Structure formats: C-alpha cells, structure tokens
Amino acid sequence: MQKITDLQFQSILEQDDISDIHFVWVNFSNHNFSFKIFSSCHFEKCNLSNVVLKNTTLNDVTFINCKILGLKFSDMSKLLSHFQFHDSQLSLCTFFGLNLKGTIFQDCKILECNFTNAYLENAVFEYCDLEKSIFLWCNFKNANLIWSHSFSINPENNKLHKTKFSREYCEGLLHHLDIKLN
C-alpha cells in the first residue's frame, strides 16, 4: 500500500480509480470526490470536512483518527460501498437510507449525524458517543452498541431484534417515554 501525505495527494485525486493508498495527515477539506472509486484505501489522521461524495464509491475503505464533518454519505454510489471508522469524529454527517450492514464504528464520536432509514444489521457501534444523532426507522438486527452512550433510540420506531446494549447506557432506549432514571 502506497503512503501519501498532504504534499502528494493532488496528483492521486486526478485519477478516477484510486486503489491501495494510505493517506496520512492529508487535509481534504472542501475537496470534491464525486464519481471517484476508492478501493482498499486508508485515511489516517485526515481532515475530510465538507468533502463532496456525489456518486463516490468507498469500497473497503478505513477511516482512522479522522475528522469527518458535514459529509453526505447518502449521496455516494450505493454499489459496492463498504467502509469502517476507528477513533474518528463524525459530525453533522448524513447516512440516510444507506445499507450499512456490518459497518464498524469503533471508539468514535458520532455527533448530530442522521441515520434515518439506515439498514444497520450486524453494524458495530462500539465505545461510541452518539450524542444528538438521529436513528429513525433503522433496522438494528443483531447490531452491537455495547458501551456506546448518549444515544436516543426509540424501540417503537426502529427494529431492535437481538441488538446488544450495555446495561449501563440503556437509558437511551427510554428517552421517548420522558422518564427520569436515578
């Protein structure tokens, strides 16, 4: 895998198919990734604020310790997109209607993101802060939210079949009832 830093990434982004690249400390703020295909790539310690993802494919892409602000993942190509996030901060991102089956979000801050109508079967939200993120009409079948916190998930508006939660943080399943736990 070729390692690319902030000084080298412009020539790589001129390509439509980008494979086996490890981007490190690259500031992609406000760049346009439209119609690009990223395969087997890693983004590490990158700033991906306000990147345009229209018809972009992220196939086997990993984000590690990245800042991801305002991305509309729902604008991506729906074919072959599979990605994961580790130790990253996602804020104000949209995953509306996406098939996120098996997607991994580990040790992430996922703040004010919209997962409305997302298919989250077998997804992993492990040790994540989900403050003010929207989960409406989602399928969480066999999803893992162990040790994730600050979420608000209404069981009446989401499918939670065999979904895993930590006892310590399950109050997020009761917010819609407007009750207080002590």
Domains of the chain (ranges, CATH numbers): 1-86 (2.160.20.80), 95-182 (2.160.20.80)
List the chain residues with pLDDT less than 50: none
CA of residue 123 relative to chain centroid, distance: 10
State the CB neighbour count (10 A cutoff) for residue 182: 2
Q: What is the pLDDT of residues 92-119, one digit of tens each?
A: 999 999 999 999 999 999 999 999 999 9
- pLDDT for residue 176: 64
